[in-house]
Structure 1
């Protein structure tokens, strides 16, 4: 691990913020690191408001999108709501279709089949629309690069409204409206919405025509918060507001589908991290193992008994997914070892029988193991399909773009992407990808980095300090859980390996001349027991957490790493 201590803020700014907010130095430091420099900034950060959301009509083509939907409703046209089979796509489709159905009864949904249509807009979906008399398709979380497909739809008399958040190419489709804040000529103030967030801005614009506000649409924010967490977009600006109020809905009055998932896991008071690890994988499992339609059906269901039934089925898909991804990960690790390619700066593996629905998860696991840009390929029809994952700081999308001569199709983000290519191009692509990464990556990025927000002492860790830290939530990119470093720690003599296979480290620490003692837990850190033994001083980086045991709640340190 590379430990990187973030630079201290300017002393005059630190002093001014401490005085303005009446907070300690550590809290003021954390706020300044997040761009919060005065009382008004802090108020917006700690007390998100619907008033902080931007006018949806600032987004390019929003007026055109609203006008076309109003025309479709007035003329009683069939509307097809189309979205991808991942969490962002299925929540987007659930949001848009359920809202439009309150205005219009000719609204239907379409999720492409992962296995014969792949990501994004498909010719099969367009032909389905034409054959079933749909004159308008609203595409969510996809479509920004579907130039030829949207042109094909136009020849069939099918209009498109595209709501996307992926990076556009050199040209955009000739749709009725293209809503994507990442377009160069879009002046929308916030660029990091997820697909479901763009969909929410569209329903916000539609509702505003009836005098309704974003707050009147809060019942849809459980879907938006789920998509924000699952799609790993920054949780700042508008996303922070949407996630904050979305979590309130999830924890107080979620839709029956999400409530049914939470009942299965018997979890109360979810954080955004819980959404990522509990709700999102189950929604994702439908598209991975069966069909994304199952997820949409669950998310729009209003009957609690039916929602419970659907959630139970989806949970089974998730259990199957876990088994399969465990097997494929083991196969892939074995393949890497046998190829003796540990000296490469990339990981590229392929097996024609690997389950296409889980290769993205496997790519993430391989990235965690070897910490380098990773591609996992499997066969998809007459082509090879892959999921790409990257390491922090390296743009895998740009690397794929540099290898595009070998690729049929690709799309995605800085850290996660997907592609297809012809099998005869696999070896050439593999070498080109290695060459591109080798010549562009900073070698430091191949060592996992932990960024430390501040160095503190144990006596700085009080219940008041923790109460303030909790208000920094929801956490995520651009507002990660604060990480601290403390030096001269000493185990009080109770340090030991715990857990079924003794792989975790549990200890109680103190510091010289400090009366505070606090319990630490280090998951998968049992091999570091010797560092803390025999009263040897050590330093640790950690986040602060709560531990509940037999009804007692106490603060504990969740260790990230320790060093002598």
Structure 2
């Protein structure tokens, strides 16, 4: 089916503001804004990720008691079983936690169930075997949050179960000793999208910070990030927030990995000693580890990552390559058969296919391929006698796990995410599952099943350059949740076109009047005859480097190509405000604000009508907040003037009194002021009073702007230098959290290349890097932004405090 192409409207002035401050292409600034990074500080934190932004593992409510339990296990020399999963996320989670526990001196054993013989998750048989082997603690990684009965069995056998998982929990939770899962409603952790290996890393962080010493301490955290990056990329969690930081630094660590098995695997993929990208790991490295679990047992992948023997690592890497090749052949056969089955009849809304001879370990990949081809949710099932196991993959707007749960009465077991899930069921129920899912799908609008290609920016071919690609690379690592920006050009001149690849399955283009730009379209070889005689084409593509004989040239990686693209008119999307109050739709965005000047009035003289609804943008605390202020309104009047039983604030005619907005306290920055006015406008409030203004201490303004003065930076520099002269790397901070201002200074020094963070959250480990030449503070975007914000804030304060202020010019 031909895709529709869609591109959002330009953000205009906001794009120019971001472009000018960061010194970047308007294409890049527009993409940043479209992805939610509208303010310079947001864009800087995104484009320059730092380990200093990692969240404390002790935000997890159950983390402290988990550390205490494992500390007791260390003291008592108890046996601890790490129970994982057979995919890359599970294997890396198991490897990481096993290495940390062993390094800390615990008696740890690692176990991964066999995909075919045991299936996913914690099993009763494994729990019973663990009890017979003398295990006192089981730590699940990348599984366990649905293992209610198995955890209950473990308790009867005197085994404490600690669950670390990232899958969606069911209504009933296991009664485990502790559950560390960011998707729990009361997890305490502010970032919910960690992969299983990310959650395991958080436990490792807590253990290293609590039980580590100079040899096995915080500084070893960074050496684990290659495993974290591998599992996170493979599991297709969003590469935003903390995941982005972990993968960014994990890829760097992978380039100099101290894990012989990972080094051997990179060598086998031809990636050793190269700058690594998330896409290479996802398409070349991860599938080799996955192949072991899919085709036989994941234990070969686990052994590879655990071994310290380089020779054995090489043998295992070659073995995984052979298994991956076998997996590819099996996948190809199943895909061909699935396509043949599908094309006999009209395409259903939800594809549900099954046979008794498909390899269960590969059906998930085949499901993904079918989604790419047909843009339908796909459920592929492998039958084994009276039982069957399946994998599901979804499309945007179709929540796989939620839809699967509507058929729970037909299933034996199921679990997963919005876009992917696994399940098992009696084979006799497959037909009912197919009918049930397709009946449920009728509730979705038909447009859901029409694929729309989201274009990040429409550009002229002349704008495609190495400089543009270098700027776009600052947005990497790319992957799920942060895809490589898709650009589009209309009517590109086609110089030449041919098929390439082993089966002539790919298309190779030369674009431009002289063929100056190369393009490659994977798996589109079948469209050669359709496109070969066209003089111009519309192309959607991402940019990448093509390295040949030491030379790097820009290459277009084609996502879609049409003789004439079908463009979908961009629709304005209303983003719901996350605050708890009810918004009132603003029908006329051009309504002018009526400003009221109460700056010099004491509170008791504010002319507020009784029962008038009052919304206050309060700037007197640490951070500005929006709240209802009827308590203030009531305090202006004596008791008996009205009834407390008048919640709608109605007047004598039964009409609701016009709401009033109040900017209370001098906003510390212009951004604070505008944010408050925007929130009031969205509530339908256009009468806004200014009150309670007085000049704040400049130190408060500096803190709000995250500004640290040059003199303070000099002092911090001297302290860091003194610390590093005694030991390098060195610890910085205490059990008390590092202040926001101090962290801002450290980020500036990191930008300037003076320090490198090696791990930690409250207390961190830093490596000092002596400057090779004189440094310019202005070269730090963070310092420049904070300085500019402070200057702008102080100027804005002077404007707001002037008695003759022009209120109409405020907003």
TM-score range relative to shorter protein: over 0.9
User: CA offsets per residue over residues 126-146 of structure 1, 9 Å max, x none?
Assistant: 111111110100000001111
CA–CA distance in structure 2, aligned partners of residues 502 and 315 of structure 1: 23
| Residue 478 (structure 2) aligns with | 475
| Residue 13 (structure 1) aligns with | 14
User: CA offsets per residue over residues 168-192 of structure 1, 9 Å max, x none?
Assistant: 1112111111001111112311110
Q: Residues 311-330 of structure 1 correspond to what in structure 2 (within 5 A)?
A: 311-330=317-336
Maintained 8 Å contact 2:169/2:184:
yes
CA–CA distance in structure 2, aligned partners of residues 398 and 429 of structure 1: 14
| Residue 274 (structure 1) aligns with | 280
The structure 1 segments of at least 4 consecutive aligned residues displaced by more than 6 Å after TM superposition are none
CA–CA distance in structure 2, aligned partners of residues 530 and 113 of structure 1: 46
**Structure 2: stretches of 5+ with no match in the other structure:** 565-811
Maintained 8 Å contact 1:455/1:485:
yes
CA–CA distance in structure 1, aligned partners of residues 307 and 125 of structure 2: 26
| Residue 265 (structure 1) aligns with | 269
Cα deviation for residue 66 of structure 1 reads 1.0
SS in structure 2 of the partner of residue 356 of structure 1: coil
| Residue 510 (structure 2) aligns with | 508
CA–CA distance in structure 1, aligned partners of residues 218 and 541 of structure 2: 38
Q: Residues 154-193 of structure 1 correspond to what in structure 2 (within 5 A)?
A: 154-193=155-194
Q: Confirm or deny that 1:410 pairs with 2:414.
A: yes
1:244 and 1:215, CA in 2 relative to 1: closer, same or farther beyond 3 A?
farther
| Residue 247 (structure 1) aligns with | 251
Q: Which has the larger radius of gyration?
A: 2
CA–CA distance in structure 1, aligned partners of residues 77 and 212 of structure 2: 23
| Residue 216 (structure 1) aligns with | 220
Please say which of residues 204-213 and 414-423 is displaced more in the overlay: 204-213
1:16 and 1:388, CA in 2 relative to 1: closer, same or farther beyond 3 A?
same
Cα deviation for residue 521 of structure 1 reads 2.6
SS in structure 2 of the partner of residue 554 of structure 1: strand
Cα deviation for residue 7 of structure 1 reads 1.8
1:161 and 1:399, CA in 2 relative to 1: closer, same or farther beyond 3 A?
same
Q: Residues 22-171 of structure 1 correspond to what in structure 2 (within 5 A)?
A: 22-171=23-172
Maintained 8 Å contact 1:532/1:538:
no
1:506 and 1:360, CA in 2 relative to 1: closer, same or farther beyond 3 A?
closer
CA–CA distance in structure 2, aligned partners of residues 304 and 237 of structure 1: 35
CA–CA distance in structure 1, aligned partners of residues 83 and 541 of structure 2: 43
Give me the TM-score of the superposition, normalised by structure 2. 0.66
Q: Confirm or deny that 1:421 pairs with 2:443.
A: no
1:528 and 1:286, CA in 2 relative to 1: closer, same or farther beyond 3 A?
closer
Maintained 8 Å contact 1:489/1:510:
yes
| Residue 518 (structure 1) aligns with | 517
1:322 and 1:507, CA in 2 relative to 1: closer, same or farther beyond 3 A?
closer
Cα deviation for residue 239 of structure 1 reads 0.2
SS in structure 2 of the partner of residue 101 of structure 1: helix
Q: Give the aligned CA root-mean-square deviation in angstroms.
A: 2.1
| Residue 376 (structure 1) aligns with | 380
| Residue 359 (structure 1) aligns with | 363
Bigger relative CO (Cα 8 Å, ≥ 6 apart):
1
CA–CA distance in structure 1, aligned partners of residues 187 and 521 of structure 2: 46
SS in structure 1 of the partner of residue 17 of structure 2: helix
SS in structure 1 of the partner of residue 221 of structure 2: helix
**Structure 1: stretches of 5+ with no match in the other structure:** none
| Residue 548 (structure 2) aligns with | 549
Maintained 8 Å contact 1:136/1:159:
yes
Cα deviation for residue 489 of structure 1 reads 1.9
| Residue 704 (structure 2) aligns with | none
Cα deviation for residue 56 of structure 1 reads 0.7
1:4 and 1:133, CA in 2 relative to 1: closer, same or farther beyond 3 A?
same
User: CA offsets per residue over residues 331-350 of structure 1, 9 Å max, x none?
Assistant: 3333334xx34332122122
SS in structure 1 of the partner of residue 262 of structure 2: helix
Maintained 8 Å contact 2:240/2:481:
yes
Maintained 8 Å contact 1:544/1:558:
yes
1:504 and 1:361, CA in 2 relative to 1: closer, same or farther beyond 3 A?
closer
SS in structure 1 of the partner of residue 94 of structure 2: helix
1:501 and 1:88, CA in 2 relative to 1: closer, same or farther beyond 3 A?
closer
1:75 and 1:552, CA in 2 relative to 1: closer, same or farther beyond 3 A?
same
Give me the TM-score of the superposition, normalised by structure 1. 0.93
Higher helix proportion (structure 1 or 2): 1
Cα deviation for residue 407 of structure 1 reads 0.8
Please say which of residues 347-356 and 77-86 is displaced more in the overlay: 347-356
Q: How many residues align?
A: 556
1:81 and 1:498, CA in 2 relative to 1: closer, same or farther beyond 3 A?
closer
CA–CA distance in structure 2, aligned partners of residues 307 and 516 of structure 1: 44
Cα deviation for residue 210 of structure 1 reads 4.5
User: CA offsets per residue over residues 309-362 of structure 1, 9 Å max, x none?
Assistant: 22222222222222222222223333334xx34332122122223222212122
Q: Confirm or deny that 1:494 pairs with 2:496.
A: yes
User: CA offsets per residue over residues 282-307 of structure 1, 9 Å max, x none?
Assistant: 11111112212221111111111111
